[in-house]
Amino acid sequence: MADFLTFKNISKFYPGVKALTDVSFSVAQGAVHGLMGENGAGKSTLIRVLSGDQQANSGEIIIDGVVQKYASVRDAFHAGVIVIHQELQLVPELSVAENLWLGRFPAKAGIISFKALVSAVGEKLRVIGIDIDPATKVAQLSIGERQMVEIAKAVMLDARIIALDEPTSSLSSRESEILFRLIGRLKAEGKIILYISHRLDEIFQLCDSLTVLRDGKLAAHHPSLENVTRDQIISEMVGREINNIWGWRGRDIRQNILLKVENLSGSKLPEPVNFEVRAGEILGFFGLIGAGRSEMSRLIYGADQRRAGAVYVDGKVVKADDPRSSIRAGIVLCPEDRKFDGIVQGRSIEENIAISARRHFSPFGLIRPKKEAELAETYIGKLRVRTPSRKQNIVNLSGGNQQKVILGRWLAEQNIKVLIIDEPTRGIDVGAKAEIYEILYQLAESGMAIVVISSELPEVMGISDRIMVMCEGRIAAGFDRADFNDRAILTAALPDKTVAETAAGSLQKVS
């Protein structure tokens, strides 16, 4: 196959940061091309340059032999390029149909028929294989369903080049299968798929070729994956070998119960939930999308209204439906959706770290810049946040560094007893994952109780001391570490237990 897309000596600089330096590689027509690298390696910057969202300082993008001179996303779109970012670009208050036709509504005599629009989109979604009501508002969809809507948009626009940034990070196994079928269909039609992922299994399953970036430079380019190994790719990404990404180690789990959840229920938890976590313990929660894990965490934290039940921290009841009382009691939450529920967008790293702890040193709401600067520098250093400055806008950080800033915010509270962290490494590279895990182990060793919620079974098995499995809004099973078994855990998570054999086939037991 002839090369259809070429990046030639692409360089991009920001103040104090070299995001890309002389990156060059080509992709053949009709290929699925993987793009890998640690967070901050330059993947997203390269895709932004391709999409017209950013302009390179030097270098060229060549599509089908033509050097592209576009200076906006619209120019790139007309060149046949569509990028589906990890941070979705949908309008929540519009319907699925309206989002898919946004900016190009079909109209007769200037009049748009919503009924006809919904019907047309519904038919297209059925052909693609996506089972979502086109009349539903995007705000009512799950994160996984929103991702499928974004993917449907790219298919409907008939793009020549489609870049997917961590497309399965929010998808269920069924939704991922639909995506993989779509990719196969697009490949057969001669489209180029740029597939950005930290999941090596997906890279080997889907991709024909692969480029690895490290520190904004080309670390490796593989025209074929035939003789490429997982360990080789990891070494190319991080510049060093990582033999055990999980790094679990035994520790002294104390007898005192720091978190007790008693008969907790809510609108999406129909049955009462009960469990305990001891000081120094990491309790993992596993379940498929829609199992109720995130909803449970929000009820514990007080972000959503409880129907019944109580939460105790160190033996003391925590006021319901009040995150402020939860924080004061020593319980905090790193939410599933970092962008919308975790970081304060448009604000600096310094502000994001200090925003909760200000109550300790800013009486009457008076800001103390020196104290906030000291606090930010302390946790940037402790958590190894990669940034040129504490004043950097947090949206410019990689996902792993954003997660560290959120952790820094809660550690700045200094009286935290219970940390709940939902999808701790979603969209985070292998090197940053190991760093996040190490932070969690250190916090557990200090005596904190940790609750880790994850949809990745190898992750929750790799780092937990115990695992609770949720299915359809209830706790279906519990496992001590000595009894961890991927098949048994996955079977407990599946509403239809008969498909457990198939679903667990590719998973390996973590000892």
Q: Do the beta carbons of residue 38 and residue 8 sit within 8 Å? A: no
DSSP string, 128-184: HT----TTSBGGGS-HHHHHHHHHHHHHHTT-SEEEEESTTTT--HHHHHHHHHHHH
Those residues with Cβ within 8 angstroms of residue 18's Cβ, 6 or more apart along the chain or in another chain: 11, 216
Q: Please say whether the dihedral angle defined by the alpha carbons of residues 175, 178, 180 and 183, taken in this order, is positive or negative.
A: negative
CA dihedral 236, 464, 385, 210 (to 10 degrees): 20
Those residues with Cβ within 8 angstroms of residue 392's Cβ, 6 or more apart along the chain or in another chain: 348, 349
Angle subtended at Cα 430 by Cα 428 and Cα 432, rounded to the nearest 5 degrees: 60
Beta bridge mates, 317: 312
Can you list the domains of the chain with their CATH numbers? 3-238 (3.40.50.300), 254-330+415-504 (3.40.50.300), 343-414 (no CATH)
**Region at 309 (left for phi over 0; alpha for psi -120 to 50; beta for the rest):** left
Q: How many CB atoms lie within 10 A of CB 241?
A: 8
Q: Do the beta carbons of residue 54 and residue 46 sit within 8 Å? A: no
Q: Do the beta carbons of residue 306 and residue 332 sit within 8 Å? A: no
What is the rounded CA–CA span in Å between residue 325 and residue 342? 18
What is the rounded CA–CA span in Å between residue 435 and residue 408? 14
Residue 103: predicted pLDDT? 59
Residue 126: predicted pLDDT? 83
pLDDT under 50: residue ranges of the chain: 497-511
What is the rounded CA–CA span in Å between residue 159 and residue 161? 6
Residue 505: predicted pLDDT? 41
Residue 106: predicted pLDDT? 58
Give the position of tokens 């998808």. Answer: 171
Q: What is the pLDDT of residues 458-475, one digit of tens each?
A: 899 999 999 999 988 899
Collapse the DSSP code of 321 into the 3-class scheme (helix H, G, I; strand E, B; otherwise coil) and give the result: coil
What is the rounded CA–CA span in Å between residue 345 and residue 419? 22
What is the rounded CA–CA span in Å between residue 496 and residue 491? 8
Those residues with Cβ within 8 angstroms of residue 80's Cβ, 6 or more apart along the chain or in another chain: 63, 159, 160, 161
What is the rounded CA–CA span in Å between residue 231 and residue 429? 14
What is the rounded CA–CA span in Å between residue 86 and residue 328? 33
Angle subtended at Cα 351 by Cα 347 and Cα 352, rounded to the nearest 5 degrees: 80
Q: Which of 301, 271, 409 is nearest to 347 (CA)?
A: 409
Q: Which of 98, 90, 161, 153 is nearest to 124 (CA)?
A: 153
Question: Both ends of the chain: CA-CA distance in Å?
Answer: 44
Length, in residues, of the chain = 511
What is the rounded CA–CA span in Å between residue 511 and residue 497? 24
Query: Phi/psi of residue 159, each to 5°?
Result: -70, 155
**Residue 189: burial class (beta carbons within 10 Å; 0-12, 13-18, 19+):** exposed
Collapse the DSSP code of 307 into the 3-class scheme (helix H, G, I; strand E, B; otherwise coil) and give the result: coil
